[in-house]
A and B are shown apart, each in its own frame.
Chain A
Amino acid sequence: DGGITQSPKYLFRKEGQNVTLSCEQNLNHDAMYWYRQDPGQGLRLIYYSQIVNDFQKGDIAEGYSVSREKKESFPLTVTSAQKNPTAFYLCASTSLGQGSNYGYTFGSGTRLTVV
């Protein structure tokens, strides 16, 4: 079945440590996105990519980095510069082809906790 897979489901990070969240899709989608959601809050865009080897900052990119070396993969690194990284991280993808309605498909998310 086609879908978008995030791993791990739960991740614990020590202070000062970098961690990388994985996001892989086999939907042949062009664009991929990373969001952060805090309890009781809406989705906030971290980074997005519409084509391989290119990506743009979202609204809260500070302390995060991404890469898009393959169409299927869009990993997110949470660096030690991110002062409050505990949150629910969601990866999404969408097709940009003609006729697409641009609705997103989401992965099941990664819960990151700083210990």
Chain B
Amino acid sequence: RKEVEQDPGPFNVPEGATVAFNCTYSNSASQSFFWYRQDCRKEPKLLMSVYSSGNEDGRFTAQLNRASQYISLLIRDSKLSDSATYLCVVNSNNAGNNRKLIWGLGTSLAVNP
């Protein structure tokens, strides 16, 4: 089983749609969780951290379910500019190596006019 798994997509949605991405992770000791966004041929950029109580930033909502080892990202009222690959990222939290992030392969989103 991969340490971080995501549905690769692609997700094709119309403008204004709501879309949700899911991610599962294998290390129950992980403590830090993130969603990054990567545009084509660019570097990944931090979209948001994911907190235990869930958190929202404008149209974006992130949720964490530790019992199921599951993270989600919800995008409401999709914009054309939301088209990108969304990367689920988890801190490995292994002894002696607890600063390493484990990266999912990403979920591709295309928002269509």
On A, residues with C-beta under 8 Å from B are: 31, 41-43, 45, 48, 50, 88, 90, 94, 96, 101-109
The answer to whether B91 touches A102 (Cβ under 8 A) is: yes
The answer to whether A94 touches B99 (Cβ under 8 A) is: yes
Q: Residue A42 contacts which of B42, B49, B105 (CB distance < 8 angstroms)? A: B105
The answer to whether A31 touches B46 (Cβ under 8 A) is: no
Which chain B residues border A108 with CB–CB below 8 Å? 42-43
Which chain A residues border B32 with CB–CB below 8 Å? 101-103
Q: What is the size category of the interface that chain B forms with chain A?
A: 10 to 19
In the complex, A88→B34 CA distance in Å?
22
On B, residues with C-beta under 8 Å from A are: 32, 34, 41-46, 49, 87, 91, 99-101, 103-106
Which chain B residues border A94 with CB–CB below 8 Å? 99
Which chain A residues border B105 with CB–CB below 8 Å? 41-42
The answer to whether A109 touches B42 (Cβ under 8 A) is: yes
The answer to whether A90 touches B43 (Cβ under 8 A) is: yes
The answer to whether B49 touches A103 (Cβ under 8 A) is: yes
Closest to B105 in A: A42
